[in-house]
Amino acid sequence: MREAGAFFSLPTYVFVAAMLVLIGFGLFTGLTGGVHHAIGHYPPVLNPTEALTPFLVLTAFASGCSSMTGIEAVSDSVRSFRDPPGDNAAKTLVILGALLVLLFIGVTLLDVIFGVEPKPGGSPTVLAQIAADTFRGPGHFFFYVIQFSTTLVLILAANASFNGFPRLCAFLARDDRLPHRFGAFGDRLVYSAAILFLTGVAVAVVLTFDANTNHLINLYAIGVFTAFTLAQAALVRYQLHHRTGHWRRNVFVNGLGASATALVDVIVMVVKFRLGAWVVLIIIPLLVLLFWFVGRHYVEMRRRVRSAADGDQPLDPYKTVVPIWALDPATRRALAYAATLGRDVVALNLGGDPGLAAQVSELGKAAAAGTHREVRIDVETPPRGQGLGALLRLIDRLSRESGPGIVTVMVPDVVTSAGMLGLLRHPRSLRLKLALLRRTGVVAVSYPADWRGESAITEIIGARRRVAIVPVSGLDVLTLRALHYAQAIADEVLALHIATGQPGDVAHKAALAPGEIKQDDPGILPDEEARELAASWDSWVVEQLGWDPDRPRPQLVIPVSPYRTVVQPVLRYLAAYRENNQDALCTVVLPELVTRHWWNQILHNHRAFHIKAALLGHSDFAVADVTYELAGR
């Protein structure tokens, strides 16, 4: 952020310095007789079509208020300032306001002195005309300095939205008013989802309004002044509620500001209505409805998850289904992994090869022999042409037979560097995973095979122990269900919770015991949620899972992420664990929430999606999706 700030600040400083030189030299030239006409003399207006009416004055006022936009970027970036952030942000706001007033009044005075008028086509601009009249003769090169610095600052001005809007979306996401994905950092430690969304909206707006700045500036001005009004009105409400400090003075200042910006907002909406301001009157109610819908959904889902039955009965895998189109490396790996689960395997011969049964049985026996478990392997061959439908009917039949048990479906996958997009190259696997998503009595497991290697089976057979790693976000029924399944398929179970870092001063500890919070950075402390989870973990495990000597007891591990990211620390932990435990057969068990409607589903499981996408690029981990459906509850 410091490097980006230095990069963006240089053109800004050049522009401000150039404008100050222009204003200073222009005022000196005008006031010393350097103008060859009377000050304030404008060319006559040909065929005037509108009289000087209050409406025209208000239109000019609305256009002038647009120049005040931009100072709101400071309020969205307070956390980025050095300590103390509030004081430094306030100083920056004062400097920004003073520069804005100085430049605006200075350019206005030069406009009056040189009698510059806007051109109908917009070129040359008013600023270019003033610079051309101010710098003549040997100093004419400074005209190009003004033009170049203005171009740079206008290009960088677009960055303000891409800096402030993602932060605003993150605040709304943390308050359950936008999908939680908007509040999560991407790989580059920025709010990638909001940036991509803003990019799409910006392209659509530019195309819709044909890149006409006269229309676009109205949308921007209304949006900014509406935000000003809401923010200051909220501060008035806050001061009236708490009544601390100089609250009367603050109520007066914020109330006056809210009234002024609300007046500007109304004026801009009225006088600029036909130029595109009407769009905002449609967008704002839709945004309010969106916030209300998303917030209500998250609150309801959280309430229903907390009140859901704990389901204290263990989830026993019933049978494992392996679809076989061809006995390729991906299918051989899936069969070998299925045999290690210690449950009966049903191999569905979708390719129709009559000699496949013997090969499958031989492969399964070899895999089971390495684990010292007795596994029965049945091969079923459906009628030709049924394909995926026959597989789903088999899964549904086994689910009915299993009762409270779980049917595991091994999905043959291959390693792809494109993550989830790589599934598009394998539409059968993609259709199967989508079909299994809403079958809550079914767990879909992927164990990607590398086409370049033949170690798909030997790695599984040579594994000495089975380890299940369960990423958890809290103590709820989703975590409980995933832990139940992990206990049934593994000899060791690790629960992984990523704590978001908070400033602190603690000693660095290299060793990490089960359940201990790891301090990657000596100056970072875990957040309150992680500390509460660590404190209540043992009692919750005893209460919900009990003490079954035949099942491994889940151990809690909490690494601290100093940058408030979650997905990347999970992947780093998995990579480090795999490197230090080469003899383990590792399965990542992901708890996922399934909602009744697909449009609600897009609000959930974002982190699980990205973890699965990343693990598709590696052949080190199997990934099991343990779903929990709230529909009808």
- DSSP codes joined into one string, 439-502: -TTEEEEE--B-TT-S-HHHHHHT--EEEEEEE-SSSSHHHHHHHHHHHHH-SEEEEE-PEEEE
Q: CA quadruple 186, 190, 191, 193: dihedral positive or negative?
A: negative
Residue 174: the pLDDT is 86
Report whether pLDDT(501) > 80.
Answer: no
Report whether pLDDT(509) > 60.
Answer: no
Report whether pLDDT(504) > 70.
Answer: no
Residue whose C-alpha is closest to residue 135's, from 18, 37, 38: 18
- What is the pLDDT confidence band of residue 458, given thresholds at 50, 70 and 90? low
Give the lowest-confidence range in 3-12, 260-269, 292-301, 542-551: 3-12
Helix (H), strand (E) counts: the chain: 20, 13
According to DSSP, the β-strands at 499-503 and 555-561 are parallel
- CATH number of the structural domain 313-460: 3.40.50
13 vs 161, residue with greater confidence: 13
- What is the pLDDT confidence band of residue 421, given thresholds at 50, 70 and 90? low
**How is domain 463-633 classified at the architecture level of CATH?**
3-Layer(aba) Sandwich (3.40)
125 vs 64, residue with greater confidence: 125
Residue 398: the pLDDT is 87
Phi and psi torsions of 623, nearest 5°:
-125, 120
SS3 556: strand
Exposure string of 53-77, with b = 16+ CB inside 10 Å and e = fewer, is eeeeeebeebbebbebbeebbbebb
Residue 237: the pLDDT is 94
Residue 467: the pLDDT is 92
DSSP string of 240-276, one letter each residue:
HHH--SSHHHHHHHHHHHHHHHHHHHHHHHHHTGGGT
In 10 A of CB 446, how many CB atoms?
A: 26
| Torsion of the alpha carbons at 242, 248, 252 and 258, rounded to the nearest 10 | 0
What is the residue extent of each domain of the chain?
A: 1-42+64-162, 211-295, 313-460, 463-633
Residue 199: the pLDDT is 93
Residue 505: the pLDDT is 40
Average pLDDT over residues 176-203: 86
Task: Please state, rounded to an integer, the average pLDDT across all residues of the chain.
Answer: 80
Report whether pLDDT(84) > 80.
Answer: yes
- What is the pLDDT confidence band of residue 515, given thresholds at 50, 70 and 90? very low
Q: Which of 19-23, 311-315, 510-514 has the highest mean pLDDT?
A: 19-23
Residue 588: the pLDDT is 94
Residue 520: the pLDDT is 47
Residue whose C-alpha is closest to residue 345's, from 374, 315, 378: 378
> For the chain, what percent of residues have pLDDT higher than 70?
82
Average pLDDT over residues 146-164: 83
What's this model's pTM, rounded to 2 decimal places? 0.75
503 vs 12, residue with greater confidence: 12
Two domains, one topology: 313-460 and 463-633? yes
- What is the pLDDT confidence band of residue 471, given thresholds at 50, 70 and 90? very high
Give the lowest-confidence range in 163-167, 252-256, 456-460, 619-623: 456-460
Residue 519: the pLDDT is 46
Report whether pLDDT(210) > 60.
Answer: yes
Per-residue model confidence as pLDDT tens digits over 281-327: 788 889 899 999 999 988 888 888 877 665 556 677 888 888 888 78
Give the lowest-confidence range in 267-276, 537-546, 617-626: 267-276
CA distance 402 to 474: 29
Task: Find out whether the peptide bond into 549 is cis, omega within 30 degrees of 0.
Answer: no
Q: Measured in whole angstroms, how far is the alpha carbon of residue 162 from the centre of its chain?
A: 14
Residue located via tokens 């960088």? 156
- What is the pLDDT confidence band of residue 510, given thresholds at 50, 70 and 90? very low
Spatial contact of 565 and 193, defined as CB atoms under 8 Å apart: no
Per-residue model confidence as pLDDT tens digits over 534-586: 888 989 888 888 777 888 889 999 888 877 778 888 888 998 898 888 888 88
Report whether pLDDT(275) > 60.
Answer: yes
Give the lowest-confidence range in 41-50, 396-405, 607-616: 41-50
